[in-house]
Amino acid sequence: MSDQEPFPGEKPQSWEALIAGMNEEIVDSLRTAVSLGKWPNGDRLSAEQTGHCLSAIIAWEAKHKAEEERVGYIDRSKLKKSHCDD
């Protein structure tokens, strides 16, 4: 991650402002932290931090990525249809 803070000198005033201030580099850093279970400095993520990171990743991707590129996407186009799909 770069040395530049996403919100220099101030904290975002809302969840929406936080997500709007994120970029691909920040999201990639969050993905890595969740995947490894630790921050770049080696500190472990708590369960709460992991949840917040995942929520932020999902919210950011909902605004910036096509559905098939998002975390958790399952391509159902080739799955066999059943009576439960109606």
pLDDT digits (tens, 9 = 90+) for 10-45: 787 898 988 998 999 999 999 999 999 999 999 999
Specify the residue for token string 């969740």.
34
Residue 58 lies in a domain: yes
Span 51-72, pLDDT tens digits: 999 999 989 998 877 777 767 6
3-class SS string, 18-43:
HHHCCCHHHHHHHHHHHHHCECCCCC
Q: So what's the pLDDT on residue 55?
A: 93
Domains in the chain: how many in total?
A: 1
Residue 25 lies in a domain: yes
Residue 26 lies in a domain: yes
Residue 33 lies in a domain: yes
Which domain does 56 fall in, by range? 15-69
Residue 22 lies in a domain: yes
Q: Specify the pTM.
A: 0.70
Residue 42 lies in a domain: yes
Residue 53 lies in a domain: yes
